[in-house]
Amino acid sequence: MAEKGKILEVLGGNKADLLLMEKVRRALQANERVKYLLSLLQLSVTQAHSQASDPDDLSVERRRAGIEDAELDRVISGAALSTGGAVEIPVSGRIIAMALDETDRMCAPLRIARPAEAQELSRRLEAAALSCSPYTAAAPAAEAGMPPPGEPGRGAPEHVLPAGFVPRLTSADRRGPDSLHLVVMDVHKALNGLIAELGGRRDRIGAAETLGLVPEDRRLVEAFMAGLESTSHLKGSHPGLGTTAMRVGAKLLIQNDIGETDAHVVLVEIEDGRIEITYTDVHDKRVEFFTELLGDLSVKWKKTESRTSKALSESAFFLLRGILQVNDPERMAASLKMIGASLVFLIDWNKARKRLRTFLRGADVLEVLKWSSRERLGHMAFITYGDEELIYEALEALPRGTVRLGEPLSEILGRKSSVEFMKEVLRLCRECLDRKEPRILLVDRLRCLLLARAQRRGGSADEMLLELGSLGVEASITFRDAIRAVTRPVAGLVTRAHARICAWEERADDRLNRMRKLHLKEPQPLLPVAEKLDDALDSLEDAGDLAQVLSERLKGEKLPEEMVRLVEEQSELALESAQLFLRSLYRYRELLRGGLGEPLFASINELKQAEQRADTVKRSFRWKFLEAPGNAKSHLALRELHERIEEAINSLCRGGFLIHDLAYAAMEQRHG
């Protein structure tokens, strides 16, 4: 069981009973530390009197006791006699205080299991602490340093102990006064008795340590552990998932420590067909994710609470409680199995979320993590192999110019494809880790996967240009209908039409940007053609906005009929030009595949004629604009609308001329 005592104490109630076995273990560790500290004082006194050139070294014992402070290794060599037979021992006040604290820690399990005996031992410990109090005051910061090795200590007065103090403190003679050493010995004896008492009730079910279970509890704990052990391998070498189960009165308590964080724990209480889940975490998003992991269970979750406790390394944490009513024993076991199986996916979850967020949107990250949990893949293999560094190395495989610095993955693959790619990343990481394959092989596979997706999304330049041409036709039809609706209102039609044109224009920008990326790798002769088509769509988008202004802001205004008629005629020519442009694109592709040039040149000639008719309409509109009476605002709006349509037609015509030049160059090369 991990060090989860603090959070269990914060939660309180009968959950503290789960601390018993943990406190026994920690008490035995404390006993080792007390023995080391008392030995340290005894040998320091010996060294002070003898001033041996080769003083005793307890560094091995210190490390074995679990004390990390290497400065204590210099205490013995720094001990010296002082005036009046007193002994000067560096940091002796701190050593005595540590010994008292560790003895108190030894008493902790006795306070739960043997309160009367613990009360008497605590009284004796308090008396020992009182006798030590003059010598445990903290030394001033300026005087707390250790003397150099081999030199007598010249510390603060708190380091000077009276003659005979250490022998009395460490005495094991019961004929004399009580001592700290005697208290330690009696506490240790009581612990041994408690351990012997618990031994008859302790057991293990799989990796779970259990205490005081009744026969019907075993099946439930076995179900929980079956779920836990079915997925525990997914955590790899990461510590966590230690489980303790204990019968407390009418309740069966199952506690799992999940990961290393003090406040990260799940408690399951089972009584009379009712499962109560208590979950604590320092990350609120992971709390929400936990509820989704158990979404198939009909848990009634209470509102998540925010708590604080100075006893925890992370003072703030979130507390979630939920209740599941399950009267059927089979369903009870199945529910516990599902709860156990879900816990591994919480380990390092926030770390995985942050790494994936580098490449995906927040909602998409959660989708990937949920998917990996459902598929029993998890995210630990991804973290083990280097998380985001894997993706960066895979991106290096893409051709130069495909990726720009800081560009989101969704710009390279598209949002949906990016999500699918990251799912594949997690799957491949899991498979490679299970097969113990080297990282370099995984990176090669990810590069191939990413390159294939990027190529599928990118497509060839002529395919993207054909898509752009189709968007131009769609936008022109929609715009033509919107212009008709300005004088023959259909509720909301102009607004909806403008929204569609904007969406198509944005899509066209995306295709144009992809062609520009291809152009960075190798010249794309069709790029200038695509840019002219994009200019036409920009003009239609602007014209659509003006049509919406006329429809919504000038309601009730009677627009000049002749001017409106000419605008409608111009919109028909814009549609005709877009259709001729798309036809020219298809015929240009046929030419490159060995077809004849005449059909292409005929289409481009028709496009030129449409542009000439648009010029005629423009001149007619100019005269009507100067002659028309009425509201100047509506006249100006109509004129600007007409100009935007003309710009779209001119852009399409210029694009047609570019196709014409490319076609002639292709034919010259063919007939060389």
The DSSP code sequence of 51-107 is --SS----HHHHHHHT---GGGGGHHHH-EE-GGG-EE-TTHHHHHHHHHHHHHHHH
State the number of CA atoms in the 13 A half-sphere of 162 facing the CB.
8
Provide the token pair at 262.
Answer: 């003090």
- C-alpha distances out from residue 595 to 46, 104, 194, 663, 670, Å: 107, 95, 96, 11, 11
- Name the amino acid, one letter, at 582: L
Domain end, chosen from 166, 195, 224, is at: 195
Same domain, 507 and 436: no
Residue 315 clears pLDDT 70, i.e. is over it: no
Output the pLDDT for position 46: 92
- Name the amino acid, one letter, at 160: V
Give backbone dihedrals phi and psi of 563, rounded to 5 degrees, phi first.
-65, -40
Residue 155 clears pLDDT 70, i.e. is over it: no
Burial of 28: CB neighbours in 10 Å, binned 0-12, 13-18, 19+:
middle
Domain end, chosen from 195, 227, 251, is at: 195
- C-alpha distances out from residue 431 to 237, 367, 426, 445, 510, Å: 16, 20, 9, 12, 35
Mean pLDDT to the nearest integer, 518-539:
84
Helix, coil or strand: residue 345: helix
Helix, coil or strand: residue 300: strand
State the number of CA atoms in the 13 A half-sphere of 609 facing the CB.
8
In this structure, is residue 213 part of a structural domain? Answer: yes
Helix, coil or strand: residue 401: coil
527: closest CA among 468, 457, 606?
A: 468
The string of pLDDT tens digits covering residues 241-257 is 888 888 877 888 898 88
Dihedral angle over CA of 373, 1, 316, 360, nearest 10: -20
Mean pLDDT to the nearest integer, 316-345:
92
The residue behind tokens 């694009």 is 655
Same domain, 602 and 473: yes
Same domain, 118 and 225: no
- Total domains in the fold of the chain: 4
Q: How many helices (H) and strands (E) does the chain have?
A: 24, 12
88: closest CA among 115, 51, 54?
A: 51
pLDDT greater at residue 470 or residue 18: 470
Same domain, 421 and 511: no
- C-alpha distances out from residue 80 to 58, 88, 158, 168, 353, Å: 18, 5, 14, 19, 57
Mean pLDDT to the nearest integer, 512-539:
82
The string of pLDDT tens digits covering residues 331-372 is 999 999 999 999 999 999 999 999 999 888 888 999 999 999
- C-alpha distances out from residue 139 to 89, 144, 205, 657, Å: 12, 6, 50, 91
Same domain, 300 and 378: no
Mean pLDDT to the nearest integer, 17-27:
72
Q: Are 307 and 11 within 8 A, CB to CB?
A: no
In this structure, is residue 123 part of a structural domain? Answer: yes
User: What CATH number corresponds to the domain at position 467?
Assistant: 1.20.58.220
In this structure, is residue 6 part of a structural domain? Answer: no
In this structure, is residue 604 part of a structural domain? Answer: yes
Q: Are 652 and 533 within 8 A, CB to CB?
A: yes
User: How many CB atoms are closer than 10 A to CB 561?
Assistant: 11
Mean pLDDT to the nearest integer, 409-429:
86
Q: Are 353 and 369 within 8 A, CB to CB?
A: yes
Same domain, 395 and 496: no
Q: How confident is the model at residue 193 (pLDDT cuts 50, 70, 90)?
A: confident
Provide the CA 298 distance to its chain's centre, in angstroms: 26
Q: ∠ CA(405), CA(384), CA(231), 5° rounding?
A: 130
* Distance between CA atoms of residues 61 and 73, nearest Å: 10
Residue 254: beta bridge partners?
245, 268
In this structure, is residue 7 part of a structural domain? Answer: no
Mean pLDDT to the nearest integer, 293-320:
82
Helix or strand (DSSP H, E) at 496: helix 493-521
Same domain, 359 and 338: no
* Distance between CA atoms of residues 252 and 213, nearest Å: 8
Average pLDDT across the chain, whole number: 83
In this structure, is residue 5 part of a structural domain? Answer: no
Output the pLDDT for position 550: 77
Q: Are 559 and 638 within 8 A, CB to CB?
A: yes
Same domain, 439 and 512: no
Provide the token pair at 3.
Answer: 């060090």
Same domain, 191 and 294: no
In this structure, is residue 1 part of a structural domain? Answer: no
Helix or strand (DSSP H, E) at 489: none
* Distance between CA atoms of residues 609 and 598, nearest Å: 16
* Distance between CA atoms of residues 504 and 197, nearest Å: 78
Same domain, 155 and 94: yes
Same domain, 524 and 564: yes
Output the pLDDT for position 2: 41
The residue behind tokens 């510390």 is 155
Output the pLDDT for position 496: 80
The string of pLDDT tens digits covering residues 31-56 is 989 999 999 999 999 999 999 988 99
* Distance between CA atoms of residues 608 and 362, nearest Å: 50
- Name the amino acid, one letter, at 226: A
Residue 578, domain extent:
461-671
Same domain, 367 and 476: no
* Distance between CA atoms of residues 369 and 423, nearest Å: 8
Q: How confident is the model at residue 9 (pLDDT cuts 50, 70, 90)?
A: low
Residue 321: beta bridge partners?
278
Provide the token pair at 540.
Answer: 């239609």
Domain end, chosen from 427, 458, 489, is at: 458
Mean pLDDT to the nearest integer, 503-531:
80
Q: ∠ CA(392), CA(395), CA(401), 5° rounding?
A: 130
In this structure, is residue 133 part of a structural domain? Answer: yes
